[in-house]
Amino acid sequence: MRRSPFSFADQYVLPGHSKRIEIPVARDALGAQFGLQVVVIHGRHPGPTMWVNAGLHGDEIAGIHIAGRLLTRVNPRTLRGTLLVVPVVNVFGVMNQTRYLPDRRDLNRSFPGSQRGSLAARIAHLFLQLVVQPCDYGVDLHTAGSGRRNLPQVRVSFAREEAVEIARAFGPEVILDSQMRDGSLRAAATQMGKLVLVYEAGETLRAEEEVVGRGLDGIRRVMHRLGMVDEAPPPPEKEALLCRTSQWVRAGRSGLANYMAELGDTVEKGQVLAVITDAFQTARVRVRAPDDGVIIGRATGGLVTRGDALYHLARP
């Protein structure tokens, strides 16, 4: 029996076809129209429905590269199931190279949103209704926030066994059981019963091949694991480390930071991770690991303020 067309907004996508559809969101002061652009790839054969989005935070460019390159790798004639790809959710943020929307709201703290709320609330609501609602699975692509850098990692809720299996298939360096954050896409989509992976890797405003390639390979492996495609890159040699908890290690004083530990390093409790000095090298404060663990995130700035998060330390 032939598969039904996929209905999206006011349009239909036939099995074995893909279509780029723009949903109007708002106009700017000069009247230019901004929209949410979604590529719907409706496989010829039945299977799961999955979305991949990037650019909830407008300065996190790596995910936009990943989503775009994914489009060149998926063939609607051989795909089983349906893939919805949204390379940029926060169009305004990307244009201005900033995390936020023009009203300084963080889109990833604005879910589930509402139809008549702020611009952030409206985009969040639209995204949930149109993109998340029809899906079984989702991948939300991020980098570390400004001034930080992340080891390629996948964040899921370990409460759902299937989530850990799919995260393993992705093949990151670390899989972190992370708490739901209020207002995040992951929290709202999980509430709707969707299984969401968050990929966090690299830093803002950059698209390094290691980060982009690893993310693209990971999504293709997840699609293979779900039976959507026949081919995927082989799994990485090193199996992902499962971490159940993480904490920030902060600067004990303000000053010039010399980082001694790198992303991916396994460190022991008491090990010196960084030394903070003043401009005259008269004062030195050592920042030590409060526990054993692996470094999954670090600050990049050479000048720090007391209390700044310098390292993100995760533990099995």
Least distance CB 156 / Zn ion (angstroms):
16
Total of residues contacting Zn ion (CB under 5 A): 3
CA distance 91 to 34: 7
Residues 96-155 that bind Zn ion (CB under 5 A): 142
Residues 6-45 that bind Zn ion (CB under 5 A): none
By rule CB under 5 A, what string of x and - marks binding of each residue 214-253 to Zn ion?
----------------------------------------
Contacts of 153 (CB under 8 A, 6+ apart): 172, 173, 174, 175, 176, 199, 200, 201, 296
Which structure tokens are listed for 44? 């010829």
Q: Are strands 148-156 and 293-299 parallel, antiparallel or unpaired?
A: antiparallel
Least distance CB 57 / Zn ion (angstroms):
4
Backbone angles phi, psi at 12, to 5 degrees: -125, 145
Compare residues 47 and 93 and give the one whose CB is closer to Zn ion.
93
By rule CB under 5 A, what string of x and - marks binding of each residue 167-196 to Zn ion?
------------------------------
Specify the stretch interacting with Zn ion by CB under 5 A; choose among 49-57, 63-71, 167-175, 252-260: 49-57
Compare residues 125 and 155 and give the one whose CB is closer to Zn ion.
155
Least distance CB 141 / Zn ion (angstroms):
8
What is the sign of the dihedral through the CA atoms of 179, 182, 186 and 192? positive
CA distance 226 to 4: 20
Specify the stretch interacting with Zn ion by CB under 5 A; choose among 58-66, 122-130, 149-157, 176-184: 58-66
140 touches 133 (CB < 8 A): no
CA distance 17 to 86: 17
User: DSSP 3-state assignment of 130?
Assistant: helix
Specify the stretch interacting with Zn ion by CB under 5 A; choose among 54-62, 156-164, 275-283, 299-307: 54-62
Which structure tokens are listed for 206? 């950059």
Compare residues 144 and 289 and give the one whose CB is closer to Zn ion.
144
Least distance CB 198 / Zn ion (angstroms):
9
Least distance CB 148 / Zn ion (angstroms):
11
DSSP 208-252: -HHHHHHHHHHHHHHHHHTTS-S--PPPPSSPPEEESEEEEEE-S
Q: How far is CA 33 from the centre of its chain?
A: 26
From 6, 41, 47, 57, residue interacting with Zn ion (rule: CB under 5 A) = 57
Least distance CB 142 / Zn ion (angstroms):
3
Least distance CB 35 / Zn ion (angstroms):
21
Least distance CB 60 / Zn ion (angstroms):
5
Specify the stretch interacting with Zn ion by CB under 5 A; choose among 36-44, 52-60, 76-84, 278-286: 52-60
Specify the stretch interacting with Zn ion by CB under 5 A; choose among 60-68, 166-174, 222-230, 296-304: 60-68
DSSP 164-175: HHHHHHH--SEE
CB atoms within 10 A of CB 132: 20
Q: Where are the alpha helices (DSSP H) in 38-90?
A: 62-71
Compare residues 57 and 168 and give the one whose CB is closer to Zn ion.
57
Q: Which residue of the chain is nearest Zn ion when measured via CB? A: 142
- Could you list the residues that contact Zn ion (CB under 5 A)? 57, 60, 142
